[in-house]
Amino acid sequence: MQRRSLGRSGLTVSAPGLGCMGFSEFYGPTDEAAAPAALEAALALGYDFLDTADMYGHGRNEALIGRVLRGRRDQVVLATKFGIVREEGSGARRIDNSPAYLTAACEASLRRLGVETIDLYYCHRRDPSVPVAEMVGAMARLVEAGKVRALGLSEVSPETLRAADAVHPIAAVQTEYSLWSREPEAGLIQACGELGVALVAYSPLGRGFLTGALDVEALAPDDFRRGNPRFQGEALACNRALAAALGDLARERGATPGQVALAWLMARAPHVIPIPGTRRPERLAENAAASDLALTPADIAALDALFAPGAAAGARYAEGGMAGIESAAG
Kindly state the DSSP code that residue 215 receives in the 8-state scheme: -
* This prediction's pTM: 0.94
pLDDT at 83 over 70: yes
pLDDT-derived band at 90 (thresholds 50, 70, 90) equals: low
CA distance 5 to 15: 10
Residues 6+ apart with CB under 8 A from 4: 12, 13, 15, 198, 270, 271, 272, 273
Each domain of the chain, given as residue ranges in start order, spans 2-207+268-295
Mean pLDDT in the chain? Answer: 94
CATH for 2-207+268-295 (3.40.630.30, 3.90.920.10, 3.50.50.60, 3.20.20.100): 3.20.20.100
pLDDT-derived band at 322 (thresholds 50, 70, 90) equals: confident
**Residue 56 falls in the annotated catalytic set:** yes
Cα separations (Å) of 281 from 8, 36, 278, 287?
Answer: 32, 11, 8, 10
**Which residue would you say has higher pLDDT here, 224 or 171?**
171
Alpha helical stretches, state H, 70-116:
99-113
pLDDT at 324 over 90: no
pLDDT at 29 over 90: no
Closest CA to 180 of 61, 75, 261, 90: 261
Encode pLDDT of 54-73 as tens digits: 999 999 999 999 999 998 99
Terminal alpha carbon distance of the chain: 32
Residue length of the chain: 330
Cα separations (Å) of 243 from 255, 269, 303, 318, 321?
Answer: 14, 23, 11, 21, 24
pLDDT-derived band at 87 (thresholds 50, 70, 90) equals: confident
* Selected catalytic residue, list 27, 56, 121, 177: 56
